[in-house]
Structure 1
Amino acid sequence: MTPTRVLKYASLLLASAVVIVPLLAIILTSLRTPGEMTTDPSPLSPPANWFNWENFQTAFTEGHMLQALGNTTFILFFSLLGTVFIGSMTAYAVDRFHFRGKKLVMTLFLVAALVPGVTTQVATYQVVNELGVMNTHWAPVLLYMGTDIVSIYIFLQFIRSIPISLDEAARMDGARSLTVYWRIILPLLRPAIATVVIVKGVAIYNDFYIPFLYMPSEDLGTISTALFRFKGPFGAHWEVISAGAALVILPSLVVFLALQRFIYNGFAAGATK
C-alpha cells in the first residue's frame, strides 16, 4: 500500500472518529446512573444496565421538551419563510436587474459574512431591545431571517440557469416584475428552496447562543436551551443532559437522512448550472 493511500485512509478514520466518538459518549453516558457517573466519570465507560431509560424520561418531562419543541417549530417556520423570500428576492434582483452599485451590494454581503458575529453583538442586542421584541419568539426570528451569503449564492446559481426568455415572454403578456418572480421564478426554485431550508433549518435547530441570549424566560426555551436546566451552580447532571442531547439529535438526524439527497443535489446543481 502506497503512503498516499495510507494517509488517505488514516485521514478518513480520523474524521470518522471525530464524529462518532462524541455521539458514542453521549449514548453511553445517557444510559448510566448518577452513582456510576460519580465512581467512574469517564464518558466512554459502558453502563451497568443497557436498558436504563430513566434519564430519557427525566430529560423529556423535567426539561419540558414538548414545549421546547413547540417554540423551536415556531421559530423555524417563520425564520425559514423569511429566509426563502428575502434570499430569493435578493438573488432575483441581483441577477435580473441592472443598477448602479450592483457589485457593491454583493461585496457588502460578502464583507458582512466575513465579520465575526461576536463583534456586533452589543449593537445587535441594543437594536433588538429598541424594537421591543426582546424575550419574545420574534427576536430570534428577526435575527435568523437575515439571509446569509450562502443562501443568496444558492438561489443566484439556480436563477442564472432559468432562461431570461421566460421573463421576456411574461413581460410581453403584461406581467410585472413581482408577477414574474411569483409565477415563474419562485416555482422553478424548488430544489434551491429545499436545499436552503434543510441547511439553514439544521443550523437554527442546533443554535444555542441566540435563543439563550434573547429569550431568557424558561417558558420560551428551545430544544437547544432546554438542556441547560440541568446545569446548576454546583455541578451538572451529565447523564440527564446526555439523554436530552440524544433526544435533540434524533429528529435532526432522521430529517437529514431522509432528505440528504436534496442537499447534495442542490449544491451540485447550483455549482454546475
Structure 2
Amino acid sequence: MREESRVVTFLKYVSLLIAAFVVLFPPYTVLIASLKSKEEYLASRFAFPSNIFNMDNFHYLFSKTKLLTTAYPNTLYIIVLSVIGNIILGTMVAYALGRFDFKLKKFILGAFMLAAVIPLVTTQVATFRVMKMLHLYNTINAPVVLYLGADVVSIMIYLQFIKNIPYALDESAMLEGTSLFRIYWNIIFPLLMPATVTVAIMRIIYVYNDFYIPFLYMPKQKLQVVSTAIFQFVGPNAASWNLISAMIVFIFIPIIILFLFLQKYIYAGVANGAVK
C-alpha cells in the first residue's frame, strides 16, 4: 500500500512538472528573445541571453511605435468607461433579478444565457450596421458601447452574492421610506464590493486582451489600442522575432502584474459566484 502511494505521488509530481513546463516554456522563450539581438536569436533561440540587461529591442520599440502616446491612453480610456458602465449595469440587473419576482424574470435570465452561447461572429453584420447608424464607427466610443453590456458571468457572480445579503435589510429600509434606488445604491451596491472587484478584474483583462472589436470598429491609426498596436507592429517586423517578443513582453507586463497582485480576488469571486 505504501509502495503504491509512492508511485502515485511520483506520477503526480511528474505530471505537475510537465504541466508547469508546458505553461512556462512559451513565456520563457518570448522573454529571452526580447533580450537578444537578431543575430543572437537566430544563432541560439532557446539559450539564455548573453546579456540580460540588453534593452536595445525596447529602445527601438519606444522610438518606432506610439504605445505610450496613443495605444495605452486609448486602452485606458476604453477600460475605465466600459468597466464602470459594466459594473453599474451588472449590479442593477442582478438587483432586479435577485430581489424581485415578476412574470418575465425567467425569460430575461434565459435570454442572457442564450446570448452567451451565440457565437459573436454570427451577429457582427447586424451589430456593425447599428454602429454605423449611430455614427460610432471609427470612433473611440465604439468599443465602449459594445463592452458596456453586462455579460452572463458577471450577472451570475452578482446574483450569488445578492442571495447572501439578508432581505431584512431591504425591509428595514422600506419601513423608513427609502426608495428602491436608494436601497440599491446605499445598501446593495456597497455589499457587492467583493464581487465588483472580481468582475472589474475579469473585464479589465478581457478588454485589454481583446483584438477583434478594436480591429473591426477602429481602423484609424490614432485609435489603435495595445492589441491592434502589436498587430500593426508585426507586419513590417515579421522577420525580427526579437523585436516582436519585446513588444509582447511590454504589452503583457501590466496585465501580469494586475493578475499576480489581485488573483486572490478573482478566485474568491468566481468560487463564491459559481453556478452548478
TM-score higher than 0.5 here? yes
Would you say 1:15 and 2:24 are equivalent positions?
no
- Quick one: which of 27, 32, 39 aligns to 1:28? 32
Q: Which residue of 2 aligns with 1:50?
A: 52
* C-alpha separation in 1, matches of 2:257 and 2:8: 35
> Which range moved further: 48-57 or 153-162?
48-57
1:85-234 equivalent positions in 2, closer than 5 A: 85-232=88-235
Contact 2:137-2:217 at 8 Å conserved across structures: yes
1:232-243 equivalent positions in 2, closer than 5 A: 232=235, 235-243=238-246
Counterpart of 1:53, as a letter, is M
CA RMSD of aligned residues (A): 2.0
Counterpart of 1:250, as a letter, is I
Equivalent residues, number: 270
Cα 1:34–1:269 change in 2 (3 A) is same
TM-score (norm 2): 0.90
Shift of 1:117: 1.2
TM-score (norm 1): 0.91
* C-alpha separation in 1, matches of 2:108 and 2:15: 40
Among all aligned residue pairs of Structure 1 and Structure 2, give the percentage whose two residues are the same amino acid.
46
* C-alpha separation in 2, matches of 1:181 and 1:235: 52
* C-alpha separation in 2, matches of 1:124 and 1:45: 47
Q: Which residue of 1 aligns with 2:85?
A: 82
Would you say 1:62 and 2:64 are equivalent positions?
yes
Contact 1:75-1:140 at 8 Å conserved across structures: yes
Contact 1:26-1:43 at 8 Å conserved across structures: no
Contact 2:210-2:227 at 8 Å conserved across structures: yes
* C-alpha separation in 1, matches of 2:32 and 2:91: 43
Shift of 1:174: 1.1
Q: Which runs of 5+ in 2 are unaligned?
A: none
Q: Which runs of 5+ in 1 are unaligned?
A: none
Shift of 1:25: 1.2
The superposition leaves residues 85-117 of structure 1 with CA deviations (integer Å, 9 ceiling, x where unpaired) of: 111101000011111121111111111111111
> Which range moved further: 185-194 or 173-182?
173-182
SS in 2 for 1:21: helix
After superposing on structure 2, the runs of 4+ consecutive aligned residues of structure 1 that deviate more than 6 Å are: none
Cα 1:234–1:265 change in 2 (3 A) is closer
Contact 1:195-1:263 at 8 Å conserved across structures: yes
Cα 1:237–1:270 change in 2 (3 A) is same
Cα 1:134–1:236 change in 2 (3 A) is farther
Shift of 1:236: 4.2
The superposition leaves residues 67-102 of structure 1 with CA deviations (integer Å, 9 ceiling, x where unpaired) of: 211111100000101110111101000011111121
Cα 1:47–1:146 change in 2 (3 A) is same
SS in 2 for 1:57: helix
Contact 1:63-1:227 at 8 Å conserved across structures: no
Contact 1:230-1:240 at 8 Å conserved across structures: no
1:243-254 equivalent positions in 2, closer than 5 A: 243-254=246-257
SS in 2 for 1:235: coil
> Which range moved further: 120-129 or 95-104?
120-129
Shift of 1:204: 0.9
> Which range moved further: 187-196 or 239-248?
239-248
Cα 1:12–1:121 change in 2 (3 A) is farther
Counterpart of 1:33, as a letter, is S
